[in-house]
């Protein structure tokens, strides 16, 4: 009888023991990802400030005459890409804060998303820029793209890139909707279903579920 009680106590304590041993490892990984995100975010913020304050300082426009078509397209494009990376970093840092510090249900399986998120946002920004410039998606009107109003155009595209990085799932679904309108599709979007399933992060598997209401 005593052996049975001992086994029951061990089984009951097992989830808490697993959680105590795995939490420091998950916390260390979350901290490392936070430092990684801060480094990329700092570089992206410095690049964006450099684009807004002194375009020539970045050396991007070397050999491109200011005011030409190449200049008026390249500068907003780079601003969109860099701002999207910054937005993705903010998104990642908020996610780490919520799941690692507040809810304490950080899942290491999302590590790849934190590592590749800023670069995926940069690629998404390139596609979004092409869609906007092509007129397939209109956001409040056409921004000016010629001097001396080029700064306003850069700010517009930087804001679009920042928002795209912060909510890249929504942007992907929006672009998917544009593609469906152009090329047509009979059934619902499989991309929307996949994103909905992927963004629903499961609860901490090592934490025991709370007892049902009304029970102790």
What is the pTM assigned to this prediction?
Answer: 0.73
Question: 51-65, 168-182, 184-198 — which one is most confidently predicted on average?
Answer: 168-182
Answer whether 90's CB lies under 8 Å from 37's CB.
Answer: no
Nearest to 146 by CA among 78, 77, 73: 73
- CB atoms near residue 200 (< 10 Å): 7
Signed CA dihedral, 35, 37, 38, 44: sign only: positive
- Mention every residue, 6+ apart, whose C-beta is less than 8 A from residue 46: none
Would you report the helix, strand and coil content of the chain in percent, each value rounded to 5?
A: 75, 0, 25
Signed CA dihedral, 94, 98, 104, 108: sign only: negative
Give per-residue pLDDT as tens, 21-71. Answer: 456 678 889 999 999 999 999 999 999 998 888 765 444 444 555 555 556
Give per-residue pLDDT as tens, 94-140. Answer: 999 999 989 989 999 999 999 999 999 999 999 999 998 888 887 76
Answer whether 84's CB lies under 8 Å from 161's CB.
Answer: yes
| Average of per-residue pLDDT across 162-183 | 88
Q: Is the pLDDT of residue 145 over 80?
A: no
What's the pLDDT at 205?
43
Signed CA dihedral, 161, 163, 169, 172: sign only: negative
| Average of per-residue pLDDT across 76-88 | 95
What's the pLDDT at 188?
64
What's the pLDDT at 35?
96
């Amino acid at each position: 009888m005593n052996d049975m009680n001992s086994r029951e106590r061990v089984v009951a304590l097992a989830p808490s023991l697993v959680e105590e041993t795995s939490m420091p490892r998950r916390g260390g990984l979350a901290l490392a990802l936070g430092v990684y995100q801060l480094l990329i975010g700092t570089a992206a913020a410095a690049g964006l400030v450099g684009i807004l304050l002194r375009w020539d300082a970045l050396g991007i426009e070397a050999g491109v005459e200011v005011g030409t078509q190449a200049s008026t397209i390249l500068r907003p494009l780079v601003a969109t890409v860099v701002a999207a990376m910054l937005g993705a970093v903010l998104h990642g840092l908020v996610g780490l804060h919520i799941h690692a510090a507040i809810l304490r249900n950080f899942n290491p399986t999302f590590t790849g998303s934190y590592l590749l998120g800023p670069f995926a946002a940069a690629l998404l920004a390139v596609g979004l820029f092409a869609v906007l410039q092509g007129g397939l998606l209109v956001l409040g009107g056409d921004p000016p793209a010629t001097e001396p109003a080029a700064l306003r155009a850069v700010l517009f595209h930087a804001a679009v890139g920042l928002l795209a990085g912060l909510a890249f799932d929504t942007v992907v679904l929006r672009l998917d909707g544009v593609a469906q309108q152009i090329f047509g599709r009979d059934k619902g979007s499989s991309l929307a279903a996949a994103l909905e399933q992927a963004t629903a992060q499961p609860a901490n598997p090592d934490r025991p579920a709370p007892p049902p209401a009304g029970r102790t």
